[in-house]
Amino acid sequence: MALSRGSVRRPRRRAFLAGVGAALAASTIDLPTAHAATGASGISWPQGQALPRFAAPKSLDVTDIVPLSGDEKLLLGTLQGLVNRTLPRVYLIGDDAANGEGRLTWLRDLKVPYAMVNDAWSLVAKYRSVIRGSIVFDPAVPDSINVATTLAGLKDGVVASPGLADKLTQEHGVPVIEDLRGRFASRIEAYQWEFEHLWPQTTHRMLIGLPPQKDVSLPPGVPPNYTTLARASTHLHDASNRKVYEFDLKDHLGGEGVWVRFDDAFTNDGWGPAVHEVVVRADGQVLAQFVPGTEAEDPYLFDTGNSQTSLGPPLHRFADGNRYFVYQFNPPAGTRALTLSVEMWNEYVVSVSRTEPRRPGKVGYAYLRDYAVANRAMTFWLDPNVAEERALFERIMSEVQPNTPYLGWFAQDIAGEFGGTELCSRHGVYVLAADWFENMSVHSGAQAPILDGQGAAPRVPLENKIYVTFTMSEGDNLQYNEHRLRILWDNPGRGSVPINWTTSPLLKDAAPNFLSYFQKTATRNDLLIAGPSGAGYIYPNPWPDETFNTFTRSSRKYMDATGMDIVYVLNRIDGRDVDLSESKAKAYVDDVAPRGLFLNWGGTSVTKLLPGGTPLSTIRGVGATDEAQRALADATAGWDGKSPRFVALGILSWSMTPQDLQQLAASLGAEYKVVRGDQYFDLVKRAMR
């Protein structure tokens, strides 16, 4: 779940392929059925269970794939799915574990014997018997990697580049069983063919959304060949510095062109530069003029740097954290004067170069493919903000039952999150962010005790104080639970101050060892709560009323089983927070029966009682200690001390830690009291009854 500002890139027009041409029709693949493919399955997935459970691992072959090429990672990720389908035996150390919680952290916690394998290719030789053949993707159509992944699950194959397919044949006797080169003219054609020919053979109990490739990141920060033109010197989140900034670029003429880059001045709080309009003049004549997010921007956008554009008016492009964007301008030969006018705001860094910058490359994307292959799921990457891709996405979702999971993520990151989660919700599908999840086919088989309760917090006397509760964001995100949450959980400040930790009750199926670790190491100041928005990430209002109880009843079942009794809900339409409708609020109260509800991530914290007496508190989201202090000052302005006041702060987990909250709590006066969520809602009920 991303909690910074919404975004979308304007859809480009493409011809939607209602069918597949004669050439494709002639290339029909002979497939085994999903249940007749070679290789037994150790996966258990009874009705009523949200996600499949794998067999318990007995011993593991562990190899570090960080030094390998993207194509090799892709091959080994799909091999892992074939092997672990029967019994988890392969564990891959990937980039996120290596750079995040630690290479062996979760592996050691599994308490399973393991052997380090220095030569990753030796796993191909060891498990050659499970490989029926290779599926060769088309480098000219990267999305064929996803089609190949689906085929690999159905035909017991591994996904291979043309070069690695040759190596597999020559060195290991692995034949090519499908070659997708030249099969598809475009990405949408590939997915249309996949839907028509492969979808009937795959499981319909889950959907997998994965990018076929990922960017090879450039080093963070402004590169040394750039000259800084301007930098915001203070934290700004309110557009108070929005104006047209003028820059003289004449000293940067004479090179291959002019490249202007925008970065975030403070990468830890999620409020980087927001650019509304760009005008470039060469010798007084307009060379370029555009609004970001429109087609007029496209000729000048050299590198998006994973930046985003706003969902709606006023359109603007923004880059938070280590993201950035670069425009390229080519002044006519002999240009003597060059000026740049930029309407922008927030925490900007603007820099310029006369030398063409390096762009990030792309490599094969291996994450979660073990899980997709093992479960014979269909893997695709369709952008809900592009018309023809959205139409196909909706066709797929129309063929699954209500409360089906979509694992992975969406194109365009935050814009994709808002549009994609709303679209999934409208079709009764819930989202599980898992596109960076490592070794899910192992962790889903972990044997670990799950508690159905949490330690009770002491009763807090109701006084005329300002009661504050801190709720960490991102708990719906399964890969956050694997990586960032483990880092925060092991932070030395945890336990010093009450914190509500959002997490997913579906970890009971997906990674019970994660949830078990958090439960058994929790202090009296730690409270696990479900969210967003229960047993899966959804927006309640768009979900059809007639099937919403499939979600709320599943949430109750999994929350009861994992000892959670508070739900944090995000509810958005068109990228904007909205109140819970009466029917959806009633469904949460009646079906989930929570102790209380947290709602949204807006600019205010308001607390009330729903009909029946269940308390609901909207959350004021913050990303830094000073921002939290200002938010508390705003929320308590005018308080006369004659009655209690309640403030729920959402804490951006990507930028704040328990030590930050310890510092924040220590800075508060005696009129404040920080409490856990269960204490908070108990106090609310006593104060408002």
Together in a domain, 435 and 478: no
Model pLDDT for residues 107-134, shown as the tens digit of each residue: 999 999 999 999 999 999 999 999 999 9
* Tokens found for residue 557: 């079942």
pLDDT at 33: 38
pLDDT at 320: 86
Choose among 14, 662, 110, 132: nearest CA to 438.
Answer: 110
Model pLDDT for residues 632-660, shown as the tens digit of each residue: 999 999 999 999 999 999 999 988 999 99
Choose among 458, 456, 235, 253: nearest CA to 348.
Answer: 235
pLDDT at 311: 59
Together in a domain, 231 and 260: yes
221: left (phi over 0), alpha (psi -120 to 50) or beta: left
DSSP secondary structure, 45-109, as one string: --TT-SS-BPPPPS-EEEEE-TTS-HHHHHHHHHHHHHHHHHS--EEEE-HHHHHTT-TTHHHHH
| 568 occurs within a structural domain | yes
Question: Rounded to whole angstroms, how far apart are CA atoms 153 and 48?
Answer: 24
| 6 occurs within a structural domain | no
Q: H/E/C letters for each residue in 630-663?
A: HHHHHHHCCCCCCCCEEEEEEECCCCCCHHHHHH
Together in a domain, 428 and 552: no
- Please report, for residues 189, 489, 502, 529, the alpha-carbon distance to residue 472 in angstroms, rounded to integers and kept in the order given: 41, 11, 6, 10
At residue 1 the predicted structure's pLDDT band, cuts being 50, 70 and 90, is low
pLDDT at 37: 37
For range 37-48, the mean pLDDT = 79
For range 562-584, the mean pLDDT = 96
| 448 occurs within a structural domain | no
Q: Decide which of 443, 475, 506 is a domain's last residue.
A: 443
Q: What is the CATH number of the domain that holds 348?
A: 2.60.290
Model pLDDT for residues 277-318, shown as the tens digit of each residue: 999 999 999 999 999 988 899 999 999 888 888 756 678 899
Together in a domain, 345 and 375: no
Together in a domain, 476 and 407: no
Percent of the chain topping pLDDT 70: 93
Percent of the chain topping pLDDT 90: 79
Model pLDDT for residues 574-604, shown as the tens digit of each residue: 989 999 999 999 999 999 999 999 999 988 9
pLDDT at 632: 95
For range 14-42, the mean pLDDT = 41
pTM for this prediction: 0.85
pLDDT at 584: 98
Instruction: Count Cβ atoms below 10 Å from residue 246 Cβ, excluding itself.
Output: 10
| 252 occurs within a structural domain | yes
Beta strands per DSSP E along 132-190: 133-136, 157-160, 176-179
The verdict on whether omega for the bond into residue 533 sits within 30 degrees of 0, i.e. cis, is yes
Lowest-confidence range among 182-186, 236-240, 462-466, 649-653? Answer: 236-240
* Tokens found for residue 537: 């990430």
| 91 occurs within a structural domain | yes
At residue 24 the predicted structure's pLDDT band, cuts being 50, 70 and 90, is very low
* Tokens found for residue 222: 């402004």
Q: Are 327 and 259 in contact (CB under 8 A)?
A: yes
The CA-CA-CA angle for residues 269, 272, 278, to 5°, reads 170
Question: Rounded to whole angstroms, how far apart are CA atoms 139 and 526?
Answer: 48
Together in a domain, 667 and 568: yes
| 603 occurs within a structural domain | yes
Choose among 81, 89, 82: nearest CA to 57.
Answer: 89
Together in a domain, 320 and 392: no
Residue 526 has pLDDT above 50, yes or no: yes
Together in a domain, 400 and 325: no
Question: Rounded to whole angstroms, how far apart are CA atoms 362 and 365?
Answer: 9
- Please report, for residues 69, 155, 160, 175, the alpha-carbon distance to residue 135 in angstroms, rounded to integers and kept in the order given: 18, 9, 6, 9
Q: What is the CATH number of the domain that holds 511?
A: 3.20.20.490
pLDDT at 416: 80
pLDDT at 578: 96
| 202 occurs within a structural domain | yes
Model pLDDT for residues 467-484, shown as the tens digit of each residue: 999 999 999 999 999 999
Question: Rounded to whole angstroms, how far apart are CA atoms 508 and 450?
Answer: 7
Query: Whose structure tokens read 């492009």?
Result: 317
Instruction: Count Cβ atoms below 10 Å from residue 294 Cβ, excluding itself.
Output: 12
pLDDT at 16: 26
Which helix (H) or strand (E) covers residue 687, if one does? helix 677-688
Q: Decide which of 410, 428, 443 is a domain's last residue.
A: 443
pLDDT at 415: 67
pLDDT at 331: 96
Question: Rounded to whole angstroms, how far apart are CA atoms 604 and 619?
Answer: 7
Together in a domain, 568 and 599: yes
Together in a domain, 423 and 332: no
Boundaries of domain holding 592:
466-688
pLDDT at 340: 98
| 547 occurs within a structural domain | yes
Together in a domain, 348 and 382: no
The total of structural domains in the chain comes to 3
Residue 527 has pLDDT above 70, yes or no: yes
Model pLDDT for residues 399-457, shown as the tens digit of each residue: 999 999 999 999 876 668 889 999 999 999 999 999 999 999 999 999 999 999 999 88
Query: What's the mean pLDDT when you consider all of the chain?
Result: 91
Q: Decide which of 308, 332, 353 is a domain's last residue.
A: 353
pLDDT at 26: 37
Together in a domain, 481 and 438: no
Higher pLDDT, 369 or 100: 369
